[in-house]
Amino acid sequence: MTVRTVLRMGEPLLLEKALPIVAFDTPELHALIEDMQDTMQAMDGAGIAAPQIGVSLQVVIFGVGQNPRYPDAEQVPYTVLINPTLTPVGDEIEEGWEGCLSVPGMRGLVPRYERLHYAGFDQFGNTIDRLVSGFHARVVQHECDHLNGILYPMRIADLSQFGYTDIIFPGQDIPDD
């Protein structure tokens, strides 16, 4: 088990475009994903992207069971997604509160496509192809943004809707990051 240090906003690597994975089912790829899993679980995240642990490759993992960070959120199946492509379905935009392990202690209201199609591969090279909506669609957009050097504060439409978690949601037992 290796919990890696999560890079925080301001780190130049978080602004880079990540490179695609060219070889699947390798020891290096499995080790990377294991470290991402361990780190995400230790920090109680809904997802994590490889650049957040300092690896500029197109790998994200996400999944939400019963997560205290998002107590009212719908569940999202645990997914390893590599070399993803996202295609919005329709033009409906929905705003929702987001946090990020790279922006600890804060929340912002972020507009995202309500529905989208995403495709890519798992760590073995199997194809992933899904049509999703709501919170699942939000999580995928947030994580895949990391692969393009975009952090959620860069998406906030109204910066008055960005602040410290314990101020915006006083008295709620939401983890720090």
Identify whether the C-beta of residue 165 lies closer than 8 Å to the C-beta of residue 107: yes
- Nearest residue to Ni ion by CB is 100
Residue 125 beta carbon to Ni ion: minimum distance, rounded to whole angstroms: 25
Identify whether the C-beta of residue 30 lies closer than 8 Å to the C-beta of residue 36: no
Q: Which of 94, 98, 114, 143 is catalytic?
A: 143
Q: In this structure, what are the phi and psi dihedrals at residue 153, rounded to the nearest 5 degrees?
A: -60, -25
Residue 14 beta carbon to Ni ion: minimum distance, rounded to whole angstroms: 9
Q: Please list, in sequence order, all residues whose beta carbon lies within 8 angstroms of the beta carbon of residue 174, skipping any fewer than 6 positions away.
A: 68, 69, 165, 166
**Closer CB to Ni ion, residue 52 or residue 83?**
52
Q: Residue 143 catalytic?
A: yes
Residue 27 beta carbon to Ni ion: minimum distance, rounded to whole angstroms: 26
Tokens of 28: 């290096």
Identify whether the C-beta of residue 126 lies closer than 8 Å to the C-beta of residue 79: no
**Closer CB to Ni ion, residue 36 or residue 100?**
100
**Which residue(s) pair with 64 in the sheet?**
76
Binding site for Ni ion (CB under 5 A): 100
**Closer CB to Ni ion, residue 50 or residue 82?**
50
Q: Which residues are catalytic?
A: 143
